[in-house]
Structure 1
Amino acid sequence: MATVEIPVSNLERSVAFYVEVLGVKVEFKGEKNAMLSFQAKGVPTIFLVETEDRKSLSFSNSHNGVEHSIIDFYTQSLEEFHHWLQVKNIEVGPLNINEEHGFGGFGFKDPDGNLLSACNVLHKGQ
């Protein structure tokens, strides 16, 4: 995967959010778009595009009604990250951790209501 493109209504506000919350680096910033990268691997990148199109990124599971994000970010410290987002007054969903194996995740929203998720499941190659 090379890039995930995310619609935003205010580029400045969104760049500040993604830099602070995800720790990404601004590789390029234009008038209406910005390329952000993760410092460790560099890819995939996040391409923020300012738009008036008010569709937010998420979808509803038609089998159980659960709203899903289309992007999950890995964190080793799931509970700490969840708490940190709450302290920052960022809208977060409930923290779901399977007691049997300790893996889990939660959703949180960017300033435009795009649903993002954090999980502590480490995949091969990460």
Structure 2
Amino acid sequence: MSKYIFHIATVEIPVSNLDRSVEFYVDVLGVEVEFKGEKNAMLSFQSKGVPTIFLVETEERNSLSFVNSNDRVEHSVIDFYTPSLKEFHESLQEKNVEVGPLNIYQEQGLGGFGFKDPDGNLLSACNVLHQGQ
């Protein structure tokens, strides 16, 4: 463990319309608004040790994702944890959120799926907990 860095404090996400994005993240992820200015907002899960989400309005049209050069699969840079993966997937579909296929490995029952925010930023949900989480 580093003697200087202890955890991720904040994940910053570029958005084109702050009000629309705040509404999306509050509705879809259930976060609370800690602060909202003209061009940025801090959102929180209200859980100890969990990073906050800082939405920053920008005119740049770069969305968050990258393509794995090995298998050409598009990846998100953020995975959100849910113990109710199938139910969350269905909830997003009911809200007309763009979602990818639900991938669950039957042997372990673990998996995930991708979904997009209003700006096309690729986000993911998974039911995998790692040591210390």
Q: Same fold (TM over 0.5)?
A: yes
TM-score by length of 1: 0.97
Q: Which runs of 5+ in 1 are unaligned?
A: none
Q: Provide the residue aligned with 1:76 in structure 2.
A: 83
Q: Provide the residue aligned with 2:5 in structure 1.
A: none
Which of 88, 91, 97 in structure 2 is aligned with 1:90? 97
- Quote the sequence identity (%): 81
Q: Which runs of 5+ in 2 are unaligned?
A: 1-7
CA distance in 2, matches of 1:43, 1:74: 11
CA distance in 1, matches of 2:44, 2:130: 19
TM-score by length of 2: 0.92
1:100-115 counterparts in 2 under 5 A?
100-115=107-122
Q: Provide the residue aligned with 1:99 in structure 2.
A: 106
Structure with the greater alpha carbon radius of gyration: 2
Which of 2, 21, 24 in structure 2 is aligned with 1:17? 24
Deviation at 1:123, TM superposition (A): 1.8
Following TM superposition, where does structure 1 have runs of at least 4 consecutive aligned residues deviating by more than 3 angstroms? none
1:47-97 alpha-carbon deviations (Å, 9 max, x no partner): 000000000000000111100000000000000000010010000000000
Q: Root-mean-square deviation (CA), in Å?
A: 0.9
Against the structure 1 CA distance between its residues 16 and 42, is the aligned structure 2 distance closer, same or farther, given a 3 Å change threshold? farther
Letter paired with 1:89: N
